[in-house]
Amino acid sequence: MPSNASLGPPPPYDLTDRDTVRAIEDERHLRARKNFSQHWLVDRDALDLMVSTAQLTRADNALEVGAGMGVLTAELARRAGRVVAIEIEQGVLPVLRRTIKRYDNVEVLEMDLLKCNPADIFGAEPYKIVANLPYAITALTLRHFLEASNPPTTMIILIQLEVAERITTGAGDMSLLALSTQFYSTPRIIARVPASSFMPRPKVDSAIVQLDIHAPPVTGELRDRIFVIAKAAFAQRRKQLHNVLPGGLHLPASQVQDWLEAAHIAPDRRPQTLSIPEWITLATLMPSMGKSAEAVSSAWSVQEEID
pLDDT at 11: 95
**Residues 276 and 179: beta-carbon distance below 8 Å:** yes
With contact defined as beta carbons under 8 Å apart, do 50 and 76 qualify? no
Is residue 175 located within the same domain as residue 281? no
Buried-state track 252-283, b at ≥16 Cβ within 10 A, e below 16: eeeebeebbeebebeeeebbbebebeebbbbb
CB 213 within 8 A of CB 151: yes
- Indicate whether 159 and 14 sit together in one domain: yes
Q: How many other C-beta atoms lie within 10 A of the C-beta of residue 22?
A: 12
For residue 205, is it within any domain? yes
Amino acid (one-letter) located at 243 = N
Say if residue 116 is in the same domain as residue 61: yes
Last residue of a domain, which of 181, 213, 245?
213
* Spans in the chain with pLDDT lower than 70: 1-5, 33-37, 289-307
In order, the DSSP letters of 148-193 are SSS--SEEEEEEEHHHHHHHH--TTS--HHHHHHHHHEEEEEEEEE
**Contacts of 62 by beta carbon, 8 Å cutoff, 6+ apart:** 54, 56, 76, 80, 82, 83, 84, 127, 128, 129, 130
The predicted-structure confidence for 46-80, as pLDDT tens digits, reads as follows: 999 999 999 999 999 999 999 999 999 999 999 99
What pLDDT score does 30 carry?
Answer: 86
Tell me which DSSP letter residue 105 carries: T
Domains contained in the chain, number: 2
Domain's final residue, options 192, 213, 234: 213
- Alpha-carbon span 76 to 73, nearest angstrom: 5
According to the model, what pLDDT value does residue 295 have? 41
Q: Are residues 87 and 230 in the same domain?
A: no
Verify that 11 and 80 share a domain, yes or no. yes
82-86 vs 185-193, strand pairing mode: unpaired
Same-domain pairing of 126 and 8: yes
Based on the fold, state whether residues 140 and 268 are members of the same structural domain: no
Taken in order 108, 114, 120, 122, the sign of the CA dihedral is positive
| Alpha-carbon distances of 86 from 15, 93, 111, 249, rounded to whole Å | 18, 10, 6, 39
List Cα–Cα distances, 29 to 42, 69, 94, 201, in angstroms: 19, 13, 12, 19
The 3-state DSSP class for residue 224 equals: helix
Residue 33 sits in a domain whose CATH number is 3.40.50.150
Pair (140, 238) in one structural domain: no
Q: Are 151 and 276 part of one and the same domain?
A: no
**Which residues on neighbouring strands pair with residue 210, listed in sequence order?**
156, 188
Domain that holds residue 239: 220-299
Question: Is 305 contained in some domain?
Answer: no
Domain edge (last residue) among 156, 185, 213: 213
Identify whether residues 204 and 148 lie together within a single domain.
Answer: yes
- Which pTM value belongs to this model? 0.90
Helices (H) and strands (E) in the chain, counts: 13, 9
Residues 164 and 280 reside in one and the same domain: no
Which residues sit opposite 106 in a β-bridge?
A: 83
Length of the chain in terms of residues written? 307
